[in-house]
Amino acid sequence: MKKIFAIAAGCLCTLAVLAHGQVLSELSMPPNGDNQRAEISQWIGPVKISIEYHSPNVHGGGGADRTGHIWGEVVHYGFFDEGFGPSHAAPWRVGANESTIITLSHDVKIEGQGLKAGTYALFVDVEKEGPWTWIFSTNPGWGSYQYEPKYDALRVKAIPQDAPYTEFMTFSFDERRHDSTEAALQWEKKRLSFKIEVPNVNQLYVDAMRRELMAWPGFNPENWDTAAQFCADNKINLDEALVWADKAINSPFRGAVPGRRDFLTLSTKAAVLRAMQRTAEADTLMEEAIHLPGTDAFQIHSYGASLLAAGKNDKAMGVFKFNRDRHPDQFVTWIGLARGYTALGDKQNAIKSWEVALQHVPENFKSLIPRMEKALKKLQEGG
């Protein structure tokens, strides 16, 4: 009986040592080695990526300077038998103490390879020569002591880069784009990264908007218009976007919320039609939009400017002339004429229009004067 109690006591002592200072400890204690717990998150559109890790420092182990002794010594090369736990060939746990964990809210691509939404342990195979390997494992384990290749969900190669000295091992998200980012690990004088992509990020936005429009946001016609415009801008989900645009114009919820037939909503529907290559219908709708009583000079000007950008100079000039007739007291109409005449090569009328515009600049548009003067000077000098 005494022998049984002695064995039990020994097991408890071992477990106490392992648990001391860890996140899963029963008591709130500092982390082992004072390797502080850290977490970083980044969104790619509606997709959230989080990395949790314990951050060792170069001057660890009682403050000793380990510069030049991290890679290949503190962090072993290859798969190493730690002499503890079931694994006889463990990669680096990417930090200290518990396993480093990465959580993905949606499916993503890592360096071009698909990885399902979920939570993964993140390991690295560090090599003396050649590329290193990021390993995403479905078995978080504790550190890499329980690592087994059969749980690998993905492996991707990465080339370590020389980097400025970093005392504490740190993760960051760099090169942030609309549909991607780069997760980077930096420690001592090395940096290792992997690219995370969400190629269907716009579809995820559309799916979210569809759900939201069926709830309280759907009682606001502006939200239907915004959703339709998003689809037009990104040339996605166009058939449904046309329905959304119509709801913004008419009644998103019959008998509850009135739609609006104005320049903005008609412009959105026209944008959807144009994205669907139904240009004639879009042009007809825009003609209606600019002739509505409530359409102001700046809205008409913006439409004319978009026609100029599309190379439709004659049509743009017609819009600018209509704007001048409709809103003779607005200085922006002279800007439109100046740009239109310039595009058509009518230098004399372009110069005259710029001169008139400069004489009637409102106080709140004085910041435009240098650009207007530059355009006028260019014409006067034969540009």
Sheet with 108-110, side-by-side order of all strands: 113-115, 108-110, 180-197, 161-174
CA-CA-CA-CA dihedral for 135, 139, 141, 144, to nearest 10: -20
Instruction: Give the number of residues written for the chain.
Output: 383
* Residue 140 contacts residue 148 (beta carbons within 8 Å): no
Say what the pLDDT of residue 10 is.
41
Partners of 57 in beta bridges? 168
pLDDT tens-digit readout, 308-346:
999 999 999 999 999 999 999 999 999 999 999 999 999
Spell out the CATH class of 201-380.
Answer: mainly alpha
Say what the pLDDT of residue 8 is.
37
Instruction: Identify the DSSP state of 76.
Output: -
Q: How many CB atoms lie within 10 A of CB 229?
A: 21
Q: Please return the burial class of 272, using the count of CB atoms within 10 Å of its CB with bins 0-12, 13-18 and 19+.
A: buried
Q: How many CB atoms lie within 10 A of CB 144?
A: 24
User: Residue 341 to residues 71, 101, 171, 316, 344: CA-CA distances in angstroms?
Assistant: 67, 62, 55, 10, 5
Say what the pLDDT of residue 9 is.
37
Domain boundaries, given as residue ranges, for the chain: 1-30, 34-197, 201-380
DSSP string, 85-135: SS-SSB-B-SSSSSPPEEEESS-EEETTEEE-SEEEEEEEE--SSS-EEEE
In degrees and rounded to multiples of 5, residue 236 shows phi and psi of: -140, 145
Say what the pLDDT of residue 87 is.
79
SS3 of 138, please?
A: coil
Say what the pLDDT of residue 19 is.
42
CA-CA-CA-CA dihedral for 167, 173, 176, 179, to nearest 10: 160
Distance, in Å, from the CA atom of 112 to the CA atom of 109, rounded to the nearest integer, reads 5
Distance, in Å, from the CA atom of 368 to the CA atom of 150, rounded to the nearest integer, reads 65
Mode of pairing for the β-strands spanning 108-110 and 113-115 = antiparallel
Q: Please return the burial class of 38, using the count of CB atoms within 10 Å of its CB with bins 0-12, 13-18 and 19+.
A: middle
Phi-psi region of 306 (alpha: psi -120 to 50; beta: other; left: phi over 0): alpha
pLDDT tens-digit readout, 126-143:
999 999 999 999 998 887
Residue type, position 369, single letter: I
* Tens digit of pLDDT at every position of the chain (383 positions): 444 434 333 433 333 344 444 555 567 767 776 678 899 999 999 999 999 999 999 998 677 899 999 999 999 999 887 777 787 788 999 998 889 999 999 999 999 999 999 999 999 999 999 999 999 999 988 878 888 999 999 999 999 999 999 999 999 999 999 999 999 999 999 999 999 999 999 999 999 999 999 999 999 999 999 999 999 999 999 999 999 999 999 988 777 888 999 999 999 999 999 999 999 999 999 999 999 999 999 999 999 999 999 999 999 999 999 999 999 999 999 999 999 999 999 999 999 999 999 999 999 999 999 999 999 999 998 86
* Residue 13 contacts residue 2 (beta carbons within 8 Å): no
Say what the pLDDT of residue 145 is.
82
Element (H, E) at 72: none
Partners of 108 in beta bridges? 115
Element (H, E) at 288: helix 279-291
